[in-house]
Amino acid sequence: MPFSHHSHSGQFCGHATNTLEEVVQNAIKKGMTIFCMTEHIHRDRIDFYPNEEKSHTPKSLEQLYDDFYHEASRLRKAYADQIQLFIGFESEWIRDSSLGIIEGLLANYDLDLFVGSVHHVHTWPIDYDTPMYHEARKVAGGSDEQVFADFFDAQYAMLQVLKPPIVGHFDLIRLKSDKPDGSFRVWAEVWEKIMRNLKFVAGYGGVLELNSSSLRKEMSETYPQVEICKEFLSMGGHFTLSDDSHGIDQVGLNYGKVLDCIKAAGINEICHLAPAADGVKVNDSRFPNVGWKTVAVNDLEAHGFWKASNQSSSR
């Protein structure tokens, strides 16, 4: 029953480790029943990450995604009797060309989902390292408040155009900030933009992932923070689980702490993708083979995953 809707592997991502098959095998070993393979999309050369992509070209990164898709398809068949695997991608929203890349992937591949993420503000990566975050902050005006506001404006633009079925690490912008565990409510304009974005996601039926990667980066709560989860819940919004794993050591990591955040936010149901062939209603016409299914948090917590993976309800 525990699941993840966002993952990467070192086979197809320069800042991850292990093969995709090893990642899938580890998800099975830990008792996961649903696992989504969502590799990064390719980008323009100007947006390549330093070091890890210096040997690539835009064409080779495009080919890398194609290689990923075919390997993911092979694994889905090979392990069909052990785990339900879904195939998608994690988007980027950097410059005008990002939209064409995303539209091309949706048109050329038979996909189950994509995770709509923003990793850049003013074309600067905001989660890669602190110096780059500071460059984005400088362009925004020099303060965390200003770059936070610009991040949520960029996210809103992405949401309006793409309506992603899953919204990735909603408040990623806090990672390299001066106070990554601070409340967003201290800045009225930023909080207003957060509320605007949440209302939009709830309005089209998008799902927020409860992303555990913040916890391995020494933050105290998931992406998004509990205060944001409470607001989205009050809007009728839905949540799913994601480990955003970049290798086998991160599969299902810190899910016990995620469960703490779920309870603190008052969330009683979590949803996960399921095949439409199982009678699940299709919510997004772009993905006719899947829909969302809900599970009670009490039932989720009762699953053997928590013992098998040595998880607990506190970190």
Query: pLDDT tens digit string along 136-160?
Result: 999 999 999 999 999 999 999 999 9
* C-alpha span between 140 and 144 (Å, rounded): 9
* C-alpha span between 154 and 135 (Å, rounded): 16
pLDDT in tens, 170-206: 999 999 999 999 999 999 999 999 999 999 999 999 9
Per-residue pLDDT at 162: 98
* pLDDT band with cut points at 50, 70 and 90 for residue 313: very low
pLDDT in tens, 200-226: 999 999 999 999 999 999 999 999 999
Per-residue pLDDT at 289: 96
Per-residue pLDDT at 99: 97
Per-residue pLDDT at 1: 66
Q: What is the dihedral of CA 65, 246, 289, 155, to 10 degrees?
A: -90
* C-alpha span between 222 and 162 (Å, rounded): 24
Per-residue pLDDT at 205: 97
Per-residue pLDDT at 29: 94
* pLDDT band with cut points at 50, 70 and 90 for residue 308: low
> pLDDT averaged over the chain?
94
Lowest mean pLDDT among 55-64, 257-266, 287-296: 55-64
- The owner of tokens 């990623």 is 172
The β-bridge relationship of strands 269-275 and 290-296 is antiparallel
Whole-prediction pTM: 0.95
User: What are the phi and psi torsion angles at 41 (to 5°)?
Assistant: -80, 165
Domains belonging to the chain, first-starting first, are: 89-304 (3.20.20.140)
What are the angstrom distances between the C-alpha of 104 and each of 66, 117, 125, 294?
A: 12, 17, 23, 31
The answer to whether residue 312 scores a pLDDT higher than 60 is no
User: What are the phi and psi torsion angles at 269 (to 5°)?
Assistant: -135, 145
The answer to whether residue 290 scores a pLDDT higher than 80 is yes
Per-residue pLDDT at 304: 76
